[in-house]
Structure formats: structure tokens, C-alpha cells
Amino acid sequence: MEMDKEQFLSEFGKDYGYPDGPKTIDEIRATEFKRLGDTDTVYLDHAGATLYSELQMEAIFKDLTSNVYGNPHSQSDSSLATSEIIKECRQQVLDYCNASAKEYKCIFTSGATAALKMVGEAFPWSNQSHFMYTMENHNSVIGIREYALRQGAIAVAVDVEEFVDQDTSSTDQKSLFKVAQHDIQRRNANRCIKEDSPGTAHHLFAFPSECNFSGMRFNLDLIRALKEQSENTLKDTTLIKGRWLVLIDAAKGCATEPPDLSIYPADFVVLSFYKIFGYPTGLGALIVQNEAAKLLKKTYFSGGTVAASIADVDFVKHRDGIEESFEDGTASFISIASIRHGFRMLNTHTISSISRHTSSLATYLRRVLLSLKHDSGADACIIYGDNSMISEKKGSIVSFNLKRPDGSWYGYREVEKLASLSGIHLRTGCFCNPGACAKYLGLSHTELLSNVEAGHICWDDFDIVNGKPTGAVRVSFGYMSTFEEAKKVVDFLVSSFVVLPTPVRYNCLLQESDIFLIEDSEKLEKSRGLYLKSITVYPIKSCAGFCVDSWPLSKTGLLHDREWLLRSPSGEILTQKKAPEMSLISTFIDLSQGILFVESPRCKTKLQILLKSVSYCLGREEMDMHGHIYEVQSYDQEVNSWFSNAIARPCILWRSSASNCYINKQGSAGMCRDVESSLNFVNEAQFLLISEASVMDLNDRLKSKASQTLQAPIAQVSTMRFRPNLLISGGEPYDEDLWRGIRIGSKYFSSLGGCNRCQMINFDHQSEQVHKTSEPLATLASYRRVKGRILFGILLRVEKCSLENEELNSWLAVGEEVYPDMR
């Protein structure tokens, strides 16, 4: 790390870390962001939301606890004082963008999206209007086209190319722009609400100051090029040359390089304060040029926006002030008062120093990622937006995808999940920027529609469809980001995704074919001495189970296993991921009494549920889970109240009627789920089998990892952390991966492959408390990963022949010998 940092500082030392500021980056982190060091968190999603300073929040808290702020729509002393503070904050916003108060006004909104919506709603659209926007735009900008199209206007996406005017001298070169339009979009062409002549129509052009997908910064000379030289700028398009107004989405760009409106006279600029200094959320602003504001036609009025109105007569007099006319209702005055402290904190640096600091980190990361190669020489990383068609200036964002040595892609969700295990917070997907996503990933309209038909929507796990990524990985830096964070990302990516030359050894590394790399390439011999060590039944999904010496099999697996589940009143299936307290609920079934016993440290009474009685049942209905349709029964309020108290949230107990379960043909795509068997409320299969030898090997690795990294000893992981139904003893670690099936006593089971592990195994249950750690999943990810899946244990299905014998033969018993069928 030290050598790498020295090399980095030799090139970027003048830009990185605020060397001429009142505090260096190390001092900033030590005094204002102690929480990052205390939790060993690497936060690199500043384009999504940057972090607030602890000193900033202390100042806000002191302010709010020392002063009285009243509703500004009043004349009391506290209200008048609040009004003055709002005026002060408006000026701070204008000053931040170097906007003259004589030419611009600041309208506070609930965010950048609300500011964009305000422009779209109030813009004077007509059938002669055009709404033009660059492909690199957030959905919140693209949404404006709905207002334009509804009024009969034309909407069109464009690409903008920047080039140098060759007719000017080298000392006075200026940028020219070429606009290439995409297909014209239009609705209601023959039924327009408002008609204007081409000469009186108003047009709107929108672009971001910085693309939130690629980090490419647009040259703001584009504003004058369109407003003053639209005929030349649009000469290669069918767009009308007329009066163009320009909107800048500066929600991302404002954090590191706000537009200077004294030089670049945009008509509208939108921004969001949590992206600039972290707090408050839910507050943004629209900076609007005075003449442009006069064109906006607002329909709705509310308290604060009218000077007078009569309730039973069509009469209303609007307020004259631009801000007052557009800020519906009471302003969020507490949040507005808070931005003063954000600006004061930010103003301890210059915008130029923040921009240079973040750009130095982004440049370093780009260079390193572009240099990554597998041992075969194949490129390991593809960066998006590096060859911008608009500007050579690059912001604080680095977006990329990773490739395997064979040229196939790693899924971005795999990267995100593994990064989370390493304490690295980043963003994946399309970042609500569908145009840039399609442009840089090379996705055609046909492919985009095909992805949707395949089930892909925003924020899902469909990261690779038909062999192509549907999004990217994004790292974005903030003014408090450090070289150490950038380096940790690099080290994580190299260790997790770059194949480097290594000596062959017995290491249980999974290959793409799910086969292990075995020392001397010898095949495993048939395992000997294997026996069933324990059987565990989990009656209620995600609650604790109970161990038995023997237990009957059924067509759904172990009798009554995962036969019940808890759902929220809104219909969400509850698991330990959402409600960790579920792990503290203990269960036991007494087959002789026909009773399910349930206990919780949060409930004084033990709950008893009769297995055959329907006295608790209030009715039956259907539910869809992982592509299976279940008929379920619900229980009365007494039962539901007991469980609600146990997990400290409202919930409902449901029981599966396995005899009435069938497959939904339009079920969950992408699930590695047994669709041939009858299932209760399991995620994938009837049984999960874990090998005691494999758990011992994992614990050895955890112990070795702690000693190598000089960490505190990592607690040994119990076999029950993996929630197995069947635990076997004997054999070598990971023998089970090579089994096509097994026989336990006289019962036969088919293997469905490895079990994909998730964060559930990182919940450590101690002394009636649940603690989430990064282990053992982080260690498993280092040697048990296959194309995004971290495999440990195998999934089984009982063969029908094992259920067709006499009833006494359909029981499993601890101690029975296990006979694997090798691949």
C-alpha cells in the first residue's frame, strides 16, 4: 500500500488530498468521518448519495436545539426569523452556481426529480414544440417527454459530438457541436390541445452536466451553441430552429463541479442537496432564469402560492414572487435551514480542489482497471465512457464490467454481493439512466425488449441476459474519499475476478464445471465410512429447527419441514434477512401428540398448534412463491399476535397444503429450484445435506485467514449455521460435490447440485442476540464460487421408490450408512 501510494502521490500529489486547504484528507477523515474508520467501511456510491460530515450534523443538531423555527407562512417572531433564513439559503444556492439574484431565482422542491417534474408540467408546450434530450439522461429527465407528447409536441433523443473549429487559431479555438437525432416520437398529432405557429413555439433541450452512468462531463458551451446558434448546431437534424430553452440536470455534477451560470446561461438548473453534502434528503432546488420563469404556466395553487382566493367563486389571485408562486404548501423549512451548515462545511474547500481531488482518484482507478489482464493475456475489465463523444473531461465516476478469461462476463450483481462481503459499498445496474446504459453496453431496441420479456426490470438480479450484461458496476468518489479506498477496490477486484498464475495444489477450488481441482488430478474413490450423523426439521421457514434421532419422509421431504411460514400484512414473506429475531423462535413437533410446540424468549407462553385440527384455521387461499402456487391456511388473531410479539413486527402464520401445490408455468426465471417435486416453503429443494468434513475444512480456512491477516480469531462456524436437514460424517471435504445421488439405508435421493449460499449464514446467534458478520460467506466466496454462486452443501430430492415401501421403511434414522453414487 505504501509503495502504491507514493507512486500515486508522485503524479497526483498536487491535486489529491487538499494539500493547500485548512485540513488534509487524512485530517478530514479523522475528525469528520470517524464512523467509516470505526466500521472499516469503504463507501463509494457518492453519485447515489454522498455522506454527511459528523461536524456538519453536530452543527445542525446544535442549531435546531438552540433555536425556534416557526412556519414561514405567519408573522410571529419565529416565523419571520425562519423566512429570513430561507432567503439566506436561497442566496447560498445561487452563489454556489454563481448565479446573479437579479437574473435567477431559487425554488425549493422535494428533490431534483420534483424540480424536473415542475418544469415538465408548467412548460408552454404546443404542437410546434420540441423536447430534445441527450441519450445520457436520467429517467427523471426523460419523464418530461410525457408532458410534451401529451400536448402534441415532438420528443427526440440525440447524441452530441464535440469538435474543434479548424477555422480559428490555435490560441482561440472554440468548440462546435454536431447533433445526431434518434427517431422522432409523437402522439396526438391530429388532436392538439394548443396550436402555435412555428415562430412562437418554445422548445426545451435537456442534458446532464455529468452523466451519472459514465461520469463524462458535458461541455457547457453547448448551452450558447443551442440558444444562440441553433441553426448551425441543428443543421444535420429535422428539428426546428427557433427559441430554445436549456435545462441542466446538475444533480450529480453539482457535487464536484456546479455550473457557473454567469458564464453558461442555462434557463433551468436542478440540483439535490443530499448528493452535494449528504443531508438533508428530500430537498432539492430549481434555479430558474427570470424570463424563463415567466413562461411557465402553473395550474394548481395551494397555501402559500396565492395572495387571495374565494372558496365558492372561481376567483384566485396568485402571488407575484417566482419562488412563492411555485412552492406549494409550507416549505420544508427545517431541512432548508440545515443546508446552511452543509454549505459552510463544503466552503472550507474550493470547488476546484474538490473536483481535482475526486478526479485524481477516478483517473487512478480507470488506469489500473484498464491494465488488468488474466494470465492468458485477455482483458479483465471494460470501462464505459472513456472515449466520450462530448468532452475529454471525466468526472468522479468509473463504470465498468468484468470479463472472464474465456471472454464471458461476470454478472454485476456477483461483483456487488462480493464487494459487500469485503465492506465495500458500490452501485450496480443502469443507475436509472436507460439511454446511457443502452448506448455504452451496445444494447439494441430488440435486445432491450427481449430483456424485459425475459423478466428483467430495474433492481433485479438479471445481470446477464443472452450472454450480455444488462448494466454495469459503478464506483463514484466524494470529496472525502481516499486513495486507500480506491486501492482496496482494486485489491478486491484483482483477488476476486482476475485469474493469475498460481501453483496447482489441493485447494477445493470450484471450476466452471462444478468439479474440484484435485491434487495429482486423481479421481475420488468411492467414499467409505459415511453415515448420517444428525437430522434436523424446520417446521417454520427461517425459524429454528429441532434435531431428532429418526423422522418420517413424505412426498415434500422430511414430514412437516418448512410447512409453515410468516408473512407480513402486506404479503411479504418474512425470513431472517428481514426479521433476524425469527432465529430465536424454537420449534418442536411431537408426532405422538400431533402438536407443534413453539417458544420465544419474547413470549411468556408456549404456543401449541395441533397438526390435524382446523380449529385455528380461518380460511384457505392461494399464494405464489418461487413459481409454485400453494393453497395455504391462515390462523386466528391469537396465533398471529403471538408471532407478532415474538419478532416485534406484525405478521401472519400460514400453513402449506402440499396436496394442493402446483407449478406456475410463468414462475420465477433464474431460480435453481426443483420443479419436479412436491415442495413446502423451501427456497430450492426438499433437503439440504452438509458434510461435517467440509465444515471442518472451512473452519481451518477461517483460522488460517485470521492468522495471516493478524485479525482477531474468527469464531468457528457450527454446522447448524447452514441450516442443514441432513448432516453426514466421514469422507473427505467436498466429496459431496461429485455425487449424482446417495442411498441412506434403503432410501434413495437424487442430487440437484450445490446449494447457493447467501447472507443468512453470516447471522451469528448468541445469547438470544443476532449479530451479522461477514463470515463465513466471505471466505467461502474465495474458493467456492461458480459464476456468481457461492456453493456449500448439496440439494437433494427423495426418489419416489423410497416412499412406496411400507410406512416403517420410510423413516430416516441417525447412524444409517450413506452410499454415494459418484459422477
Active site residues: 432
User: Which contacts (CB < 8 Å, 24+ apart) does range 502-511 have?
Assistant: 507/783, 508/697, 508/733, 508/734, 508/783, 508/784, 509/783, 510/737, 510/783, 510/784, 510/785, 510/786, 510/791, 511/786
Category of 97 on φ-ψ map: left (φ > 0), alpha (ψ -120 to 50) or beta: alpha
Contact 755, 737 (CB under 8 A): no
Contact 746, 532 (CB under 8 A): no
- Cα–Cα nearest to 682, from 725, 736, 726: 725
Contact 219, 441 (CB under 8 A): no
Phi, psi of 125 (to 5 degrees): -65, 150
570 burial type by CB count under 10 A (0-12 exposed, 13-18 middle, 19+ buried): exposed
Helix (H) or strand (E) holding 675: none
- Cα–Cα nearest to 580, from 325, 734, 765, 323: 765
Please, what's the b/e burial string for 295-330 (b: 16 or more CB within 10 A of its CB; e: otherwise)? ebeeeeeeebbeeeeeeeeeeeeebeebbbbbbbee
366 Cβ contact list (under 8 Å, min separation 6): 383, 386, 394, 398
Contact 71, 333 (CB under 8 A): yes
Please, what's the b/e burial string for 46-69 (b: 16 or more CB within 10 A of its CB; e: otherwise)? bbbbbbbbebbbebbeebeeeeeb
Phi, psi of 552 (to 5 degrees): -75, 150
Phi, psi of 729 (to 5 degrees): -125, 145
Q: Which residues pair with 382 in a beta bridge?
A: 401
- Cα–Cα nearest to 466, from 748, 669, 235, 231: 669
For residue 792, how many other CB atoms are within 10 A of its CB?
23
* Rounded Cα–Cα distance for residues 278 and 272 (Å): 10
Instruction: List the Cα angle 559/565/566 in 5-degree steps.
Output: 160
Residue owning grid cell 425459524: 543
Instruction: List the Cα angle 663/666/669 in 5-degree steps.
Output: 100
The amino acid sitting at 89 is C
- Cα–Cα nearest to 437, from 416, 455, 412, 418: 412
Contact 126, 194 (CB under 8 A): yes
* Rounded Cα–Cα distance for residues 445 and 465 (Å): 14
Q: Which residues pair with 176 in a beta bridge?
A: 163
Q: Which residues pair with 268 in a beta bridge?
A: 247, 288
- Cα–Cα nearest to 553, from 742, 813, 376: 813
Contact 692, 718 (CB under 8 A): no
* Rounded Cα–Cα distance for residues 736 and 688 (Å): 11
Grid coordinates of 36: 467509516
* Rounded Cα–Cα distance for residues 343 and 93 (Å): 9
Grid coordinates of 83: 423566512
* Rounded Cα–Cα distance for residues 427 and 784 (Å): 24
